[in-house]
Amino acid sequence: MNNIIFGPIHSRRFGKSLGVDLSPGKKQCNFDCLYCELDPAKTITGQDEVLRVVDIIAAIKKGLQEHEDIDFLTITANGEPTLYPYLNELIDEINKIKGSTKVLILSNAANISDVDVQNALLKFDEVKLSLDCATQKCLKKLDRSHSGIDVENIKAGMLVFKSKYTGPLVIEILIVKTLNDSKEEIDKLNEYLLKLQPTRIDIGTIDRPPAFDVQPVSYEKLLEISHWFDSRLPIYIASRKKATISASSYSNEDILETLSKRPLTQEDIDVLCDKESQIRFQKLLENKKIKPVSINGVKFFKKV
Ligand code: SF4
């Protein structure tokens, strides 16, 4: 049962997080995404290798004893965690023993219109759902969803879930070259996300070798895509593929103009601005022309 728990992983966003894998034996997923880091596998609608709740709880207790001060328990799977049939019972049991540790679930959202799944997810401290595509054609091609999974159903389910959930709801969009990086697809995502109003939207690209021969997009492209979204949406560029762009010189006006279109993180500023521009940025911050805002643990800078 040792392989149920992995980590801890340290991150600025989640602090010290311990992973909980609800399918440690094999990939069990209702998607077979082209960018998946796991080997391709036949899609399923229910797990056939199912862990017992008591064993997961025992593994979590052991993990929390072995690693002190865990900030987050991240519920995930080699596949899709909402396919675990006892998710509701599991989260009840975790909530009894977690103490001050928060519980996050990472899901591909394929089951979000299922009321039982919604009821289980409502009990999590934070929910992160993927939404790579706003159209069925894209979902079928990129996420290779199980037959019968309908993107309109996913979108409707997310809206219902959001209307009931009071915790942070983060949407993750993974951009893959030529598959979902067109203006047309992003416009449709934008239109939907304006209705959903999630707490934050993370856009990223392929960071690790995927199962199929698909390509990441550059940081420049992610930046361009971030500008295609409505500036009211809290977009965070969450990709590590940032090193390809060369830093440029920005005047005070350029900096303010850029930030009025899209709030940026310190990481973005470091990548985009040369040394002198970074000093100008600091001065603007000191002079309160720019202000920091925190969106669900991520610090952005925006024009005052
Ligand atoms: S949803 Fe996640 S686990 Fe399932 S195929 Fe896609 S990337 Fe892999």
Q: Give all domains of the chain, ordered by start, each with its CATH number.
A: 2-243 (3.20.20.70), 246-304 (1.10.10)
Q: What is the mean pLDDT of residues 29-58?
A: 96
Q: What is the mean pLDDT of residues 232-257?
A: 80
Out of 44, 80, 132, 140, give the residue to mutate to test ligand 1, the one with the largest number of ligand atoms within 8 Å of its CB.
80
Task: Please tell me the residue having the least CA distance from ligand 1 atom 2.
Answer: 79
Task: Please tell me the residue having the least CA distance from ligand 1 atom 8.
Answer: 36
Tokens 């790579």, located at residue = 132
Give the type of residue at 29: C
Percent of the chain with pLDDT over 90: 73
Ligand 1 centre distance from Cα of residue 246 (Å): 33
Ligand 1 centre distance from Cα of residue 144 (Å): 9
Q: Summarize pLDDT for 178-215 with one digit per residue, the tens.
A: 999 999 999 999 999 999 999 999 999 998 778 788 99
Q: Check: CB of residue 287 under 8 Å from CB of residue 256.
A: no
**Is the shortest distance between the CB of 210 and ligand 1 below 6 Å?**
no
Q: Is the sign of the CA dihedral 67, 3, 13, 75 positive or negative? A: negative
- Reported pTM: 0.89
Ligand 1 centre distance from Cα of residue 80 (Å): 7
Q: Average model confidence (pLDDT) for the chain?
A: 92
Determine the pLDDT at residue 22: 97
**DSSP state letter for 3:** G
Instruction: Please determine, for residue 241, whether its predicted confidence score (pLDDT) is greater than 70.
Output: no
Determine the pLDDT at residue 242: 53
Q: What is the mean pLDDT of residues 26-40?
A: 94
Confidence of residue 240 (pLDDT cuts 50, 70, 90): low
Q: DSSP string of 16-75?
A: EEEEEES--SS-B-S---TT-SSPP----SS-SS---HHHHHHHHHHHHHHS-S--EEEE
**Is the shortest distance between the CB of 31 and ligand 1 below 6 Å?**
yes
Confidence of residue 64 (pLDDT cuts 50, 70, 90): very high
Confidence of residue 259 (pLDDT cuts 50, 70, 90): confident
Q: Summarize pLDDT for 73-110 with one digit per residue, the tens.
A: 999 999 999 999 999 999 999 999 999 999 999 999 99
**Which residues make Cβ contacts (< 8 Å) with residue 156, sequence separation at least 6?**
113
**Is the shortest distance between the CB of 149 and ligand 1 below 6 Å?**
no
Q: Summarize pLDDT for 125-147 with one digit per residue, the tens.
A: 999 999 999 999 999 999 999 99
Top pLDDT among 262 and 25 is at 25
Question: Comparing 68-72, 237-241, 249-253, which segment has the lowest mean pLDDT?
Answer: 237-241
Determine the pLDDT at residue 244: 60
Instruction: Please determine, for residue 245, whether its predicted confidence score (pLDDT) is greater than 80.
Output: no
